Amino acid sequence: MTRTLGVEEEFLLLDPDTGENAPLAEKVFAGLPGELHARHRREFRHSMVEMVTDVCTTLDELRDQLLTARRETAAAARATGADLVAIGATPLAEPFREPADDARFRRIVGHYGPIAQDPAVCGCHVHVGVPSPELAVEVCTRLRGRLPVLQALAANSPFFDGAETGYASWRSIQLLRWPTMGAWPHFRSAAEYDATVRTMIASGEMMDESMMFWYSRPSANFPTVEIRVADVCLTADDTVLIAALARGMVDTAAREAQEGLPVPGIPDVLLHSAHWNAAHDGVDGTLLDPVAGRARPAWELIGETVDWVTPSLREHGDLDVVTAGLDRVRREGTGATRQRRLLGGSGSVAALLGDLAAATVAG
């Protein structure tokens, strides 16, 4: 069975002179060519642009759509005087923090207060086709201990307020102020999931089902599992790697569910620690293995994860792309590592943002 893929990427619009977030999203959307106009989404902030792919079956198709969207949107941004930058967190400052002109966005600000006025952050969400809600819930439960590896590989937000944060993914840390942000709970059925979501909405913690921000979830709009743990990736090739691994993970978890294999029990506190570890270190140190309950060299755990999904990668024709992508990350580092390397050469966060804008549209 070939599982479909779709990707949502969020980007920042930055002033090329000051490096600050530029509230120009509506002008950028107006400048998109017709064939791309249907693939943009209004985001929470005027300084954010979200572009989505169509439903894809191959990584070549996905890469072509990602690159086209990035390049055409970057050209539209330049026409407004802004740079399109694939970076997970606001690097310098965001003076204008009002939500985009949308009634629901204004309700969110009214309900959640200062949390909704934190500086903008940008993620990469991968949708993988799963035909039934019951299977989607079981897949999410089986992926609980696997997603910190994906989070570490996608880390791309080491800077905030013009300075080094000490985290590979500051976006991951900033987002923890939101209710329901974090690892998917251990649900045993779709009925248990549905009942829990209704109760959380009744409490006021969530305004509606779309405010459920767990790192994986059954999509409310499509027959997919949505993996939401990744920062927006610096390059399209980085995104393709994350999407291929996400598809492999979802497909492997679905097969294990259909075979009735046992689901490991993972204490929530260890899962939280594993995600914190991934956000802090990326792949440049250790990662906590929440199943074994011990820290391990990051690349050892990555290699074990790849072994787990290799049959699925091979079946989908993705294995060579994943192998080459991981080799590249071992040589060059994650987006966070590459940003830090650029900072060492430029001396300031503002000075490296032009290089990040170039990397955003690179082949």
pLDDT tens across 253-312, in order? Answer: 999 999 999 998 999 999 999 999 999 999 999 999 999 999 999 999 999 999 999 999
Nearest partner of 179 among 211, 219, 209, judged by Cα: 211
How many other CB atoms are there within 10 angstroms of residue 295's CB atom? Answer: 16
Residue 194 has pLDDT above 80, yes or no: yes
Pairing relation of β-strands 159-160 and 163-164?
Answer: antiparallel
What integer is the mean pLDDT of 133-156? 97
In this prediction the pTM is 0.97
Residues with Cβ within 8 Å of 106's Cβ and at least 6 positions away in sequence, in order, are 99
Task: Determine the Cα–Cα distance for residues 51 and 347; give it in Å rounded to an integer.
Answer: 31
For residue 22, pLDDT over 80 is answered with yes
Using the predicted structure, report yes or no on whether residue 345 has a pLDDT greater than 80.
Answer: no
Mean pLDDT along residues 332-340: 97
- Phi and psi at 55, nearest 5°, equal -70, 125
- Does the pLDDT value for residue 340 go beyond 80? yes
The predicted pLDDT at position 84 comes to 98
Closest to 12 in 3D by CA, of 40, 59, 46, 58: 46
What is the rounded distance in angstroms from the CA atom of residue 101 to the CA atom of residue 254? 40
What pLDDT shows up at residue 272?
96
pLDDT at 98: 85
Q: What's the total number of domains in the chain?
A: 1
35 has pLDDT over 90: no
- Collapse the DSSP code of 19 into the 3-class scheme (helix H, G, I; strand E, B; otherwise coil) and give the result: coil
Q: Is the pLDDT of residue 363 over 90?
A: no
Cα–Cα distance, 198 to 194 (Å, whole number)? 6
Structure tokens belonging to residue 26: 């509506």
CATH number of domain containing 337: 3.30.590.20
The pLDDT mean for the chain works out to: 95
Least confident of 55-59, 198-202, 251-255: 198-202
- Nearest to 112, CA basis, from 65, 169, 180: 180
Is the confidence at residue 42, as pLDDT, over 80? Answer: yes
pLDDT classification of 242: cutoffs 50, 70, 90: very high
Please report the pLDDT score of residue 63 as a whole number.
Answer: 98
Instruction: Give 102's pLDDT tier (boundaries 50, 70, 90).
Output: confident
Q: How confident is the model at residue 205 (pLDDT cuts 50, 70, 90)?
A: confident
Percent of the chain with pLDDT over 90: 85
Averaged pLDDT, 100-115: 88
Domain span holding position 119: 5-360
The pairing of beta strand 224-231 with beta strand 5-14: unpaired
112-123 pLDDT, tens digit per residue, is 999 999 999 999
Could you tell me if 145 and 216 are in contact, meaning their C-beta atoms sit under 8 angstroms apart? Answer: no
Dig out the tokens for 350 from the structure.
């503002």
Check pLDDT > 90 for residue 332. yes
Tokens of 135: 């299977």
Scanning the structure block, which residue is given the tokens 């009744």? 202
The rounded distance, in Å, linking the Cα atoms of 363 and 359 is 8
